[in-house]
A = this chain, B = another copy of it.
Amino acid sequence: MPSYKLTYFDGRALGEPIRMILTYMGLEFEDNRIDMESWTALQKEIKWGRIPVLEIDGKEMYQSRAIMRYLAKQAKLAGDNDWEAYEIDCAAGTVGDLIDLYRSMWKLSDEKTKEEWEKKLLDEFIPSFMKNWDEQAKNTGFLANGKLSWADLYLHGWVETLEVLMGKEIVNEYPNLKLGREKVHATPGIKEWLAKRPKTVY
């Protein structure tokens, strides 16, 4: 049995989707949560300077979507054929786009520009992505192919952090996404993880 070690901040954000897929697969993993002080030093050592990093038997893996897709193939959450895999990749890519749009705000040093961006996120970007996802998830709650995939874990693992950071409930306004969240949270492995995971602010 390989050993798994996930290094990320003490929060959900981009670490939680990977924690979810590991627990879905029933894999034990070292949940290495680092504080900002350690991060400053660690960032210089890590190739690409970004986390999450997943180590499998000490071998480092980078890029959260690449990590998830790799695990998802083993978990049978990556589609049953090339088209299904594309639909999942596409959905996950759009989640990545909204993450990037959110993170763009951090790069804005000017307070006024930052406020304008935050308003755009709340009024335009977030509703537009959520609306599209909600349509895709119609009836089943799942983003792609009408069944659970790693794209659902990616969205629902991350989106709780978005809700905290924006100070707003978001998903509950979209019935199909709400259903998807409930299904993901009730999935064996993930359900037990949610009950025992550390409580964090974001």
User: Which residues of A are at the interface with B, using a C-beta cutoff of 8 A?
Assistant: 47-50, 61-63, 65-67, 69-70, 73-74, 82-83, 85-86, 89-90, 92-94, 97, 100, 104, 107-110, 113, 117, 128, 132
In the complex the two chains form, is A94's CB within 8 Å of B132's CB? no
Copies of this chain in the oligomer? 2
Bound complex: CA of A85 vs CA of B63, how far in Å? 13
Closest Cβ neighbor of A68 among chain B residues: B89
A90 touches B107 (CB 8 A): no
19 A-B pairs, CB-CB below 8 angstroms?
Answer: A47-B132, A48-B97, A48-B132, A62-B90, A62-B93, A62-B94, A63-B90, A63-B94, A65-B89, A66-B86, A66-B89, A66-B90, A67-B86, A69-B86, A70-B86, A74-B82, A100-B100, A107-B108, A110-B113
Cβ contact within 8 Å between A113 and B104: no
Interchain CA distance A201-B100 in the complex, whole Å: 27
Q: How far is the CB of A122 from chain B (nearest CB, A)?
A: 16
A164 to B9, CA, bound (A): 37
Instruction: Tell me the minimal C-beta distance from A136 to chain B in angstroms.
Output: 10
